[in-house]
Amino acid sequence: MLDCIIIGKGPAGLSAGIYTSMANVKTLIIGKDSLLQKSEKIQNYFGFEEIIDGQQLLQRGIKQAIATGCEILNDMVIAIDILDNGFNIVTAENGSFNTKSILLATGNNRNTVHITNLEKFEGKGISYCTTCDGFFFKNKKVGVIGSTDYTIHEANELLSFTENITILTNGNELKSSGESNNTIKSNKIVSFEGENKLEHIVYDNGEKEQFDGIFIAQDYPTASDFIKKLGLNSKNRLLTINDQFMTNIRGIFAAGDIVNDFKQISTAVGSGANSAKNIIKYCKE
Ligand SMILES: Cc1cc2nc3c(=O)[nH]c(=O)nc-3n(C[C@H](O)[C@H](O)[C@H](O)COP(=O)(O)OP(=O)(O)OC[C@H]3O[C@@H](n4cnc5c(N)ncnc54)[C@H](O)[C@@H]3O)c2cc1C
């Protein structure tokens, strides 16, 4: 049993991990690449008078977190299950872990697809949340767009509502080790079509296929997916936390771009530290 799982290895997650590990809170950080890796020139972060690039800064943070005792996994989290007894299960591509507390430090990125008419049908047949919207497609024909373990996980979740499920890899190779008995279609999708709601999708070979619903489960779940699935309170795409950096679910904390209006390395690091202070207290209670 872990004390804390931090989802995200950007500045917020790493900063929090340094504090929790130094306080002997058994911590595992699970994350993929941070947005910061794209930054070639950082000139406004305290303590670096020379220009440093995002990749270097993150590597230093990762080494520092490991030196303080953090374990770090380069993996994607595909599901979080909140158990009644106050413990939680975090499922990543390469394993599941039990933990007392979770820090969401996932940044504020959203994994979506760039397909004509996406926005037009969001909420009108196109959904990002199987847990919230699966019910509306009982015994209907649905497609799940994506090509990863997360896609298969979401398709399997939909099985309790319908068996008529097609995995739409949208021109990508299916990179999942998960099992699925669903139809798999690999054609590239060019547009969503319909009158007042989604009715069919059009592939790049001109073929049209009827669907009642489409779920986007691209790459891995991001902040907005976790917000919807777990029923976390949010406003204007920012997670709502209390003064202890805890969300409306006990034991689930958040830090970084997912809570900060001013999205910077310094504010992410600061909120990571603040959340860690409260996680330490929570785990030792
Ligand atoms: C091009 C660019 C340049 C920038 N330049 C500057 C600058 O010069 N100065 C500055 O102060 N700020 C800059 N920023 C902003 C800064 O990068 C962000 O504010 C900061 O990285 C936020 O940190 P974070 O830890 O909250 O999130 P992020 O750095 O976005 O990290 C989020 C982490 O969560 C992980 N994650 C998300 N979902 C999952 C999941 N399901 N499973 C596993 N892991 C997951 C991601 O892989 C990543 O590791 C820049 C941003 C960009 C894009």
Ligand 1 touching residue 107 (CB < 6 A) = yes
Ligand 1 touching residue 218 (CB < 6 A) = no
Cα 107 to ligand 1 centroid, rounded to whole Å: 5
- What CATH number should be reported for the domain holding residue 208? 3.50.50.60
Region for residue 107 given its phi and psi (left: phi exceeds 0; alpha: psi -120 to 50; beta: otherwise): left
Residues 19 and 52 in one domain: yes
Helix, strand, coil tally for the chain in percent (to 5): 30, 25, 45
Higher model confidence: residue 162 or residue 35?
Answer: 162
- Please choose from 36, 148, 266 the residue to mutate so as to test ligand 1's pocket, defined by most ligand atoms within 8 A of CB: 36
Length of the chain: 285
Region for residue 268 given its phi and psi (left: phi exceeds 0; alpha: psi -120 to 50; beta: otherwise): alpha
- Number of domains, the chain: 2
Rg, the chain, Cα only: 20
- Please choose from 40, 93, 265 the residue to mutate so as to test ligand 1's pocket, defined by most ligand atoms within 8 A of CB: 265
Residues 7 and 32 in one domain: yes
**How far is Cα 214 from Cα 135, in angstroms, rounded to an integer?**
13
Give the strands of the sheet with 200-203, arranged side by side.
Answer: 189-193, 200-203, 208-210
Strand partners, 203: 189
pLDDT tens digit sequence for 171-210: 999 987 767 788 999 999 999 999 999 999 999 999 999 9
Cα 35 to ligand 1 centroid, rounded to whole Å: 4
Higher model confidence: residue 280 or residue 131?
Answer: 280
Residues 178 and 229 in one domain: no
Residues 95 and 7 in one domain: yes
pLDDT tens digit sequence for 5-56: 999 999 999 999 999 999 999 999 999 989 898 888 898 999 999 889 999 9
Residue 86 has pLDDT above 90, yes or no: no
Read off φ and ψ for residue 206, nearest 5 degrees. 90, -15
Q: Report the predicted TM-score, pTM, of the whole model to 2 decimal places.
A: 0.90
Residues 151 and 238 in one domain: no
Across the chain, what does the average pLDDT equal? 94
Which residue shows structure tokens 């319909």?
Answer: 194
Higher model confidence: residue 110 or residue 28?
Answer: 28
Task: Give the model's pLDDT for residue 75.
Answer: 96
- Please choose from 28, 29, 33, 39 the residue to mutate so as to test ligand 1's pocket, defined by most ligand atoms within 8 A of CB: 39
Ligand 1 touching residue 14 (CB < 6 A) = no
Ligand 1 touching residue 61 (CB < 6 A) = no
Residues 70 and 41 in one domain: yes
Last residue of a domain, one of 173, 199, 216: 216
Last residue of a domain, one of 182, 201, 216: 216
Task: Give the model's pLDDT for residue 199.
Answer: 97
Residue 63 has pLDDT above 80, yes or no: yes
Last residue of a domain, one of 216, 238, 267: 216
Q: Is 66 helix (H, G, I), strand (E, B) or coil?
A: helix
Burial of 107 (0-12, 13-18, 19+ CB in 10 A): buried
Confidence of residue 164 (pLDDT cuts 50, 70, 90): very high
Task: Give the model's pLDDT for residue 8.
Answer: 97
The fraction of the chain above a pLDDT of 70, given in percent, is: 100
Cα 235 to ligand 1 centroid, rounded to whole Å: 20
Q: Which atom of ligand 1 lies at the shortest distance from residue 41's CA?
A: 8
Residues 7 and 97 in one domain: yes
Residues 124 and 195 in one domain: yes
Ligand 1 touching residue 146 (CB < 6 A) = no
Nearest CA owner, ligand 1 atom 51: 36
127 and 207 Cβ atoms separated by less than 8 Å: no
Torsion angle, CA of 220/57/36/62, rounded to 10 degrees? 10
Ligand 1 touching residue 250 (CB < 6 A) = no
Q: Which domain range does residue 104 map to?
A: 2-110+222-284
- Please choose from 9, 29, 34 the residue to mutate so as to test ligand 1's pocket, defined by most ligand atoms within 8 A of CB: 34
Q: Which atom of ligand 1 lies at the shortest distance from residue 220's CA?
A: 41
The fraction of the chain above a pLDDT of 90, given in percent, is: 84
Q: How is 114-155 classified by DSSP, letter by letter?
A: --BTHHHHBTTTEES-HHHHGGGGTT--EEEE--SHHHHHHH
Residues 191 and 143 in one domain: yes
Residues 78 and 129 in one domain: no
Nearest CA owner, ligand 1 atom 5: 39
pLDDT tens digit sequence for 209-258: 999 999 999 989 999 899 999 999 999 889 999 999 999 999 999 999 99
> For the chain, give me the number of helices (H) and strands (E)?
7, 17
Residues 8 and 128 in one domain: no
Residues 87 and 129 in one domain: no
Cα 264 to ligand 1 centroid, rounded to whole Å: 9
